[in-house]
Amino acid sequence: MDYSEATERISRKYAKTGHEIDRQKIEGKLRRLVEEFGVQPAEAERSVTNELNKEFNITPAGVPGTPGPAGGATSEKKIADARPGDWVTIEGKVVSLSAPASPAIAQSGILADESGAIRFVVWAKSNAPKMDEGAWYRLDSAVVDEYKNIPNLKVHSGTTITAIDRTDPLIPAPCAIKDLHPGIGSVRAKVVQEWDTTHDRMLQSGLIGDETGTVKFIIWKEQGKEKLAVGAVYSIFYAQADEFNERLSLNITGAAIMQEEGDIATVTGGDTEVRGALVHIAPGSGIIKRCPVPGCNRALSRQNYCPIHEIQPRFEYDLRIKGWLDDGEKTHNILLKRDVVEPLTGMTLDQAKEIAENNPLGMDEVFLQMRDRVLGRYVVCKGREIENRLLVNTCEKMHFESGEHAKLLNRAGGAS
């Protein structure tokens, strides 16, 4: 980026007031704000101007051509009103702290007030005082930017952090899952499914839902973090809703989580329904072995090898079917877990274990029997489509309809 034009504008403004400023100093400040702190160029220019106003004891209105409202001063706002590109003064409560993702970050977490919540990052170079979880602070001259369509509050060297005497609690109102949007949100939801983790830093992933829909959730490994129980209902406050490929996922690593005693009787388990024939049952279906190390649950190889925890002789058995469902126009990648596989195939996990341990073909015999029972069958699968795979919540066999058969033959011009 060329900083010469902005440097020239700032220099000319103060030359009119009789102040000659080192241009290299101005350019250095602009470069640091933009390149180190990710500040937008226009806001960096405003910040440098404000700093010089203070240095020369000039009121903002006294500087001709100063950009921005009210002479470029930051404005005091509620969190819900902060927009990317704003320089703001905010009062909020630190409701959550999370492990910094980089040595360049001193602190990160969630700041909330009565209007909403926002993720914040304190740069290490800012030398800002540490903030405590549960305490209220006033942040003067912080900047809001955007990452993955989510507003972020950045604390830089020009930000002033002041502890304030407030102890009033914040009670966030959970929203329906269908109303979640990128940002910070709170929900009351039931854990519907637990999935295989796809990263060694991931503690748990799966599906949570309420009466309005379901959403993928993720918990990353951090000290003190525990897995959620499948079937249990939780109030989850200040979770981070991320969007990728127009699909939301909920990162609840830094959220406040409370298990509820009540239940959510009807969870809408996804709005995708596919009817068609099972045209392929993929290897890896049938009975499988899983890593018993807490938090892992990965499928083991035939030699009981986990890619993370190596050989695991004390494995745990599980059932699943991976395959393809053809609806006549498109084939769908599907994944059925044990609670769907058992009623569809008529084979329980105990029966599959007995076959695997006593038949000469072992686990292959389970695969062959399951394949023979479902391959080519017409089924109706309902679930949620994530990353081009349908995670099936229910799967029922379709019954033969003689009337429909006759219609098809008539359309084809043949005879029954």
State whether 277 and 396 are in the same domain.
yes
Q: What are the Cα distances from residue 266, in Å, to 216, 231, 232?
A: 17, 12, 13
For residue 72, pLDDT beyond 60 = no
Domain that holds residue 138: 79-164
Cα 143 to Cα 111: distance, rounded to the nearest angstrom: 14
pLDDT for 269: 57
What tens digit of pLDDT does each residue of 165-205 get?
888 888 888 899 988 888 899 999 999 888 877 777 888 98
Say whether both 252 and 283 belong to one domain: no
Residues 24 and 105 in one domain: no
Predicted pLDDT at 245: 61
Q: In the chain, helix, strand, coil percent, each to 5?
A: 25, 40, 40
Residue 93 has pLDDT above 80, yes or no: yes
Answer yes or no: do 159 and 189 share one domain: no
CA atoms within 13 A on the CB side of 300: 23
Residues 220 and 284 in one domain: no
For 322-343, letters b (16+ CB in 10 Å) and e give bbebeeeeebbebbbbbebbbe
pLDDT at 74: 65
Q: What is the mean pLDDT of residues 382-392?
A: 80
Q: Is residue 8 part of a domain?
A: yes
pLDDT tens per residue, range 105-131: 899 999 999 888 999 999 888 888 999
Q: Which residues are 287's β-sheet partners?
A: 319
Give the count of beta carbons closer than 10 Å to the beta carbon of residue 257: 15
**Strand 256-260 to 378-386 pairing:** unpaired
What average pLDDT does range 333-341 have in this prediction? 92
Task: Evaluate the CA torsion angle 81, 84, 90, 92 in order and state its sign.
Answer: positive
Domain assignment of residue 108, yes or no: yes
In this structure, is residue 115 part of a structural domain? yes
The CATH number covering residue 213 comes to: 2.40.50.140
The alpha carbon of 309 is separated from its chain's Cα centroid by a whole number of angstroms, namely: 26
What pLDDT is recorded for position 32? 78
Same domain, 350 and 381: yes
pLDDT > 90? residue 84: no
Sorted by sequence, the CB contacts under 8 Å of residue 112 that are 6+ apart come out as: 79, 92, 93, 95, 118, 170, 172, 184, 238
Instruction: Give Cβ neighbours of residue 321 (< 8 Å, ≥ 6 apart).
Output: 281, 285, 286, 334, 335, 336, 340, 341, 344, 345, 370, 374
What is the arithmetic mean of pLDDT over 284-299?
85
Q: Which of 260, 295, 319 is the last residue before a domain boundary? A: 260
In this predicted structure, which of 122-131, 154-163, 259-268, 270-279 has the lowest mean pLDDT? 259-268
Q: Is there a single domain that holds both residue 255 and residue 281?
A: no
Out of 260, 290, 308, a domain closes at 260
Q: Are residues 307 and 366 in the same domain?
A: yes
Q: Which of 214, 234, 260 is the last residue of a domain?
A: 260
Residue 66 has pLDDT above 50, yes or no: no
Q: Is the pLDDT of residue 63 over 50?
A: no
- For residue 70, the model assigns a pLDDT of 39
State how many domains the chain has: 4
Facing residues of 247 across strands?
244
Residue 60 lies in a domain: no
Has residue 64 got a pLDDT over 50? Answer: no
Mean pLDDT value across the chain: 84
Q: What angle do CA 380, 383, 386 make, to 5 degrees?
A: 130
Sequence letter at residue 351: Q
Q: For residue 364, is pLDDT > 90?
A: yes
Range with the lowest mean pLDDT among 22-31, 33-42, 67-76? 67-76
Highest mean pLDDT among 44-53, 393-402, 405-414: 393-402
| 410 part of a folded domain | no
| pLDDT band at residue 65 under the 50/70/90 scheme | very low
Residue 370 lies inside a defined structural domain of this protein = yes
pLDDT value of residue 85: 78
**pLDDT score of 370:** 95
Using pLDDT thresholds of 50, 70 and 90, give the confidence band for residue 415.
Answer: low
Q: Is residue 277 domain-shared with residue 398, that is, in the same domain?
A: yes
Better-scored residue on pLDDT, 10 or 333: 333
Residues 299 and 278 reside in one and the same domain: yes
pLDDT at residue 1, as a whole number = 64
Query: How far is it, in rounded angstroms, from Cα 302 to Cα 368?
Result: 16
Based on the fold, state whether residues 121 and 157 are members of the same structural domain.
Answer: yes
Residue 71 lies in a domain: no
Residue 68 belongs to some domain of the structure: no
For residues 158 and 184, state if they share a domain.
no
What is the pLDDT confidence band of residue 136, given thresholds at 50, 70 and 90?
Answer: very high
